[in-house]
Structure 1
């Protein structure tokens, strides 16, 4: 297409094709289809539309909690209200309070499915478009298109949002937008968008240690006391203000009877009374529960403490590496204050490449060890994993791990997808996505751990599917197949979590070096160039200048964080104005 002069149509065609695939998936079944009295996630989302449309704010989080009581943060409620207003304008029976419970007319289903696609197009797709341009800024246009293609057809997200039925792409889109702003040095905007992600779904907390440590390391890098403390204050004010605006109707009269009314949404958002995990989820607690029977031997309060402690231990390495990098590369205390403030506003930090790994480590630690995890939560660590994969060469460890974790992530959700009647979509999307990215486990570097793990895991997964297809589970062990699924998937996720820690340490070492270093204003202003020399030419695409160093960050996926920092800064200096699509090679 590039050679035929129609490259301007590539991105629109990719977006159009992915949207068509989403609508095709939506033609199938969904969570709770024709299963009264509670139905499923589809009915929960629809019920929240009627609830928010007809009831005052003070009743949103307390009305008839036994029937899909609202338990997501306020931004989800506001989105439900907007959808409810549109649905009421089209056909009031779709969202009639109480009377519409369990409605499954063709018109209402088309509307519900369309809302997922619409919000995906409004938030997630633009975030990916910007990501491919910002985080792959020094790569060729074709590489950026391949990265976008990898992300648009992400099978796990497509199956859950457009098959099972949820709005996870909105939460993930806000997180990607936050990363994009961080990459361009706009930390306040990034903090605001991450607050929106938290305000849409509490699962975004899985990213909080990674993003929080990055912003704190950024303040340390700028210098505390001084510009760094000033930057920290602005970040705190921005974050607190965003949360106050989001929760405004739930603590401020006349919307709420008193300030204490804010406890209603908070108690619903963090439901510790639900138990350690739901269904069979491929994490530490569920896998080890096969032998240890945690819920029978340990009280709920102790399990909450144990899970909190293990989760913190799980993400502490990435937090430590990030803060250490900020400290080692901090600007000299003798730097001119005006220059340091300009650095604060216009430049990116040299340890920005650590951010995707920090997000991966923190989200995996929450998924594996935290309290009350659902199998759909694997979408949270799959996002940074896929972002890293989107720019990795096919012979790199990032590519091999990225595809393995994504494939097993989809496999781990098979019991849920089977229950929803999405078996055909499950197989079709896995084949389509692996074909698109050119994946073949037999062609991975031979003898490596990830190749051996891939072959063993895929063999076990296919074998389990064959057994499940031909043989019914024994009456004595009716959950044997979901349990085996957990036992196959969990080791992969544990090893991927350990791998993310290893890569974070190696990238931090490559960027910051073994010794302390206080950056001068001059060195700080040229970090976009120097980091490429110190960490294996990060930011240079295939065929461009720069030598790939053995064991360098670039071999570990540096392409996924080729920010184009120096390129962006040079454009600012010469006053070049760029638009999306004009600079594609």
Structure 2
């Protein structure tokens, strides 16, 4: 029988989701990025044009560059649109939203698609050992401030995609490997950036599902898993193979010409690489060497140059691919040697962390791919609590530059502070009530450091974010005027990159020592 959540946990999670939905509705009038225009165009594109034109249409700059299942998803969301506002699915789309109903409709499609995230969280309420997960762990997923910022202000559909990932992880935790592999294949056909987790899935499923069961049975399971995955990909891509558009489709999905960096640099390894390059270039020029500064320099925040370096070697897509695989190798070895379902969430989260830290053209929003799953195991131990407390705050703060208008500033600050307070109170209460989990019994008189879910170094690091905010908001303009407008963003990327690098090292260390 499938593991399900207890009635009390399910009810509490649904109430938490309902409260989060109310917050989402309050965010309807807030800032909308160009992603809003992208998705409203995809809504019109998939509704007004036949499928054979979806990946060839170039009448707009917002060309479809997600896999076919997401296009089908957009088509599904577009079906009620003509009854709300005919311009929602008109080609060409209007230059601006024609009514508040227009905006409300698209916002509600994001909130509606989050139901898959809720369903996955309810299924994950019990882990592989049939142990009840703490309600706070579920709440940390449903109330993720980073997810609220990216999906319900900036505008995307990550809640739906994370729901698919968590559903796949639920099946793997419960030993339903075939279902987990098929759902992950559906996720890849919805957003291809999750390919970074595919090596872990392949190694784990091969060893856990196919091997060690006799040659005939293992071969049969391998064929069954392969048939299931191939069937999913066939449903997604077969129509476009028939139309002869696979080359065009793949060029849309993998536009390597966009360059190593996104317009807003993700706080990963490459931030340090390019900062080092700029420091070396500055020093060599001061010493009299002739150093050429590329047009798409770091301080201009431009995108599209695959080699914005002056001194250090050029980075290519194959270089980033090899680094990701190299970083992931210890995890793959562990998954191959001892494939245990209780570790699958941690392994997949680590794989996504490797893609974030070393990948090509990484978006800052990709930190959701590992912070959301890690929330589910954040309370497994005090070490996990310490790690998640730091990581979740750093991840959310790194997204602050996405909301650059003044009216959204109090919202993003309030979301992060509320989440931080929730973790502080929730973690303290949990370990005070369960001293065996953390070793030391806690009481109300303990300080934040004595509560052990943060130490003095990590606390000092987190407080440093306040200094960065004060500088960016109050002093930068007075010191530099209109010069170096991108400096605050660079500082945020580098500073958060330190926290992200620590998280990656911590995850790697944990996997090596404990799995």
Give 1:519's aligned residue: none
How far does residue 107 in structure 1 lie from its aligned partner after superposition?
0.7
Preserved contact between residue 30 and residue 421 of structure 1 (Cα < 8 Å)? no
Give 1:14's aligned residue: 16
Q: Distance in 2 between matches of 1:496 and 1:98?
A: 45
**Which is bigger in relative contact order (C-alpha 8 A, separation at least 6)?**
1
Q: What's the CA shift string for 1:204-249, capped at 9, x where partnerless?
A: 1232222222112214653463433322221111111101111122
Give 1:572's aligned residue: none
Q: What's the CA shift string for 1:323-365, capped at 9, x where partnerless?
A: 0114xxxxxxxxxxxxxxxxxxxxxxxx112212211221111
**TM-score for both structures, normalised by structure 1:** 0.74
- 2:413 matched to 1:427? yes
Match runs of 1:131-530 below 5 Å? 131-135=124-128, 137-139=130-132, 144-219=134-209, 221-223=211-213, 225-252=215-242, 256=243, 258=244, 261-278=245-262, 279-292=264-277, 294-297=307-310, 302-326=315-339, 351-389=340-378, 391-393=379-381, 396-419=382-405, 422-438=408-424, 443-444=448-449, 451-473=455-477, 474=480, 475-508=482-515
How far does residue 467 in structure 1 lie from its aligned partner after superposition?
1.1
Preserved contact between residue 116 and residue 167 of structure 1 (Cα < 8 Å)? yes
SS of 1:147's partner is helix
Give 1:336's aligned residue: none
Preserved contact between residue 285 and residue 369 of structure 1 (Cα < 8 Å)? yes
Give 2:109's aligned residue: 115
How far does residue 472 in structure 1 lie from its aligned partner after superposition?
3.5
**TM-score for both structures, normalised by structure 2:** 0.83
Q: CA RMSD in A?
A: 2.5
Preserved contact between residue 166 and residue 373 of structure 2 (Cα < 8 Å)? no
Give 2:70's aligned residue: 76
Preserved contact between residue 412 and residue 486 of structure 1 (Cα < 8 Å)? yes
Alignment coverage as a number of residue pairs: 458
Q: Distance in 2 between matches of 1:287 and 1:414?
A: 20
Q: Distance in 1 between matches of 2:312 and 2:469?
A: 36
Give 1:54's aligned residue: 48
Gaps of 5+ in 1: 32-39, 327-350, 509-585
How far does residue 64 in structure 1 lie from its aligned partner after superposition?
1.6
Q: Per the alignment, do residues 7 and 120 of structure 1 end up closer, same or farther by CA in structure 2, a change over 3 Å counting?
A: closer
Q: Distance in 1 between matches of 2:20 and 2:235?
A: 34
Q: Distance in 1 between matches of 2:355 and 2:251?
A: 20
